[in-house]
Amino acid sequence: MSTPKKKAQPSLGEFLRARREQLRPDDFGLPPGLRRRAPGLRREEVAALCGISPTWYTWIEQGRTAAVSVDTLGAIAAGLRLSQAERGYLFQLAVRADPSPPRTAARTPAHRMGSLVQAVRSPAYVLDRHWDAVAWNKPAAALFDVWLGGRGEGSRNLLRYVFTEPQAQTFIRGWPERAERLVAEYRADTAAWGDDPVRQTLVDELCRASPVFRSAWGSQRVMSREGGLRNFTHARKGHCDFQQFTLKVAHQPELKLTVLVPASA
């Protein structure tokens, strides 16, 4: 028996055509016209709304161009009034990174994230896009007593804690390797926020404060943020081993929920 072929993912042009045909002229202040042979907007109307040439838009929709710039994709997303999900899908089809991803983390009420982590028995915390802890539970505060428990005087930023708090180097077993990996993960996690002044200020500050961070940042290493075994040496509890799981919050992927499950479990 022959193996059934997988259905190919829709192309960028197919998606644009389908979206264009779903739009109503009157929603854009355009006359309905008597000679429209197909539903939706004409290609030249979409091109005008997007601020690009009709020929260029036609080529994109017909798949006659190998690459589309991020500026053009952004113009198309705005011109077609794409939703947040549709914009993300557009950039995914074009194999481009969106330079202006949705910035919605501030809309999440802190008490809602707090309620979430409090429902978890093991240590759990939520990081925002700057890697500041915005919510954590009591087990997390007990484990990270200097970072989250209030015993230290530093900020709630994970990188500031790891690279500027002396206690971190004895608390995190295998600190040199873990610290370098965190920098690589941070670079990958915040690549779309390269022009963010808060990100740049944090990087500059840590480059001045920590030679290890400066060297790791200069290495240009990029790694995805993954789970795995995490080992700590607590001042009172001794050796603590956990399996780490990192999850992204739906509709707000810049928020990350980290849960540490005891390795013995």
CA 196 – CA 178 distance, rounded (Å): 25
Distant-in-sequence, close-in-space partners of 135: CB < 8 Å, separation ≥ 6: 110, 113, 114, 116, 117, 125, 126
Tens of pLDDT, residues 225-242: 777 899 999 988 899 999
CA 32 – CA 107 distance, rounded (Å): 38
Distant-in-sequence, close-in-space partners of 175: CB < 8 Å, separation ≥ 6: 162, 168, 169
- In CATH, the number for domain 12-93 is 1.10.260.40
**Residue spans in the chain of domains classed CATH 1.10.260.40:** 12-93
One CATH from 3.20.20.70, 3.40.640.10, 3.30.390.30, 3.30.450.180 for 105-262: 3.30.450.180
The reported pLDDT for the residue numbered 102 is 56
The reported pLDDT for the residue numbered 10 is 55
Distant-in-sequence, close-in-space partners of 6: CB < 8 Å, separation ≥ 6: none
The reported pLDDT for the residue numbered 5 is 43
Residues of the chain with pLDDT under 70: 1-10, 32-38, 101-111, 151-154, 265
Q: Which two tokens stand for residue 65?
A: 């161009």
The reported pLDDT for the residue numbered 105 is 42
CA 152 – CA 167 distance, rounded (Å): 9
Tens of pLDDT, residues 95-124: 887 877 655 444 555 557 788 899 999 999
**Nearest to 129, CA basis, from 180, 196, 210:** 196
CA 124 – CA 119 distance, rounded (Å): 9
CA 187 – CA 196 distance, rounded (Å): 13
State the maximum Cα–Cα separation within the chain, in Å, rounded to a whole number.
80
- The helix (run of H) or strand (run of E) holding residue 256 is strand 252-262
**Burial of 60 (C-beta count, 10 Å sphere; 0-12/13-18/19+):** buried
The reported pLDDT for the residue numbered 258 is 94
The reported pLDDT for the residue numbered 213 is 96
**Residue spans in the chain of domains classed CATH 3.30.450.180:** 105-262
